[in-house]
Amino acid sequence: MPQPDLGFVHRFEPGEGAATLNLLHGTGGDENDLLGVGRSIAPRANLLSPRGKVLENGAPRFFRRFAEGVFDEDDIKLRSRELANFIAAASVNYGFDAKQVIAFGYSNGANIASATLLLHPPAMAGVILLRPMVVLVPSQLPDLHGKQILIESGSADPMGTVSEIQRLVALFGKSHAEITIKQHHAGHGLTHEDMVEAQKWLGQFFPATQ
């Protein structure tokens, strides 16, 4: 069956639960990368996995950057709006509840997830941010009461440093989100502990994924 044109190349795998896990890959990944992880941590959830539309030396990303750690904020605003619109369109096309979408983002995927939540709060009920950074600070912070956020950092991550994670936590804290923070003895790559904590967090706040 041909894939519907919803603005992103993507994969959708239906689940038995009411919630949908929006899988957002890191730089160089694609729509297939996180499907296995998503199904392992959220056995009953729908899985919605888009491919980033920006290419950096041939590697898919979700937004442009000028250099490592230097981000194109105008492009972030554009791409986060596109992602929010994609989630809304996909909910209509596939028939899932747009109010029960949880983003699971790794690295660049975590960063577009956090930007989308800050700029378009209705798009996501919660987010799992693995190895994130602060890529954008809105001129006016949203009210994120009721939004659940899990941040998983690596103690040896050269990009998501302790000070960077503290900035991100402060940003979401000022927006009144509910934040859970887990630091692992790891670098920028994902670990088994990341998955264990993500599944535990989903079971606590979004039992429909389990």
Active site residues: 107, 157, 188
Query: What crossing angle do the helices spanning 73-94 and 108-119 adopt, rounded to 10°?
Result: 80
Tell me, letter by letter, the H, E, C secondary structure of 182-194: EEECCCCCCCHHH
Other beta carbons within 10 angstroms of residue 67's beta carbon come to: 6
Q: Which H helix or E strand runs over 83?
A: helix 73-94
3-state secondary structure of 16: coil
Long-range contacts of 77-80 (CB under 8 A, 24+ apart): 77/115, 77/119, 77/136, 79/53, 79/54, 79/112, 79/115, 80/112, 80/115, 80/116, 80/119, 80/120
Token pair in block for residue 148: 């659940």
- 146 vs 116: CA distance, rounded Å: 16
Rg from Cα positions in the chain = 15
CA dihedral 18, 19, 20, 24 (to 10 degrees): -170
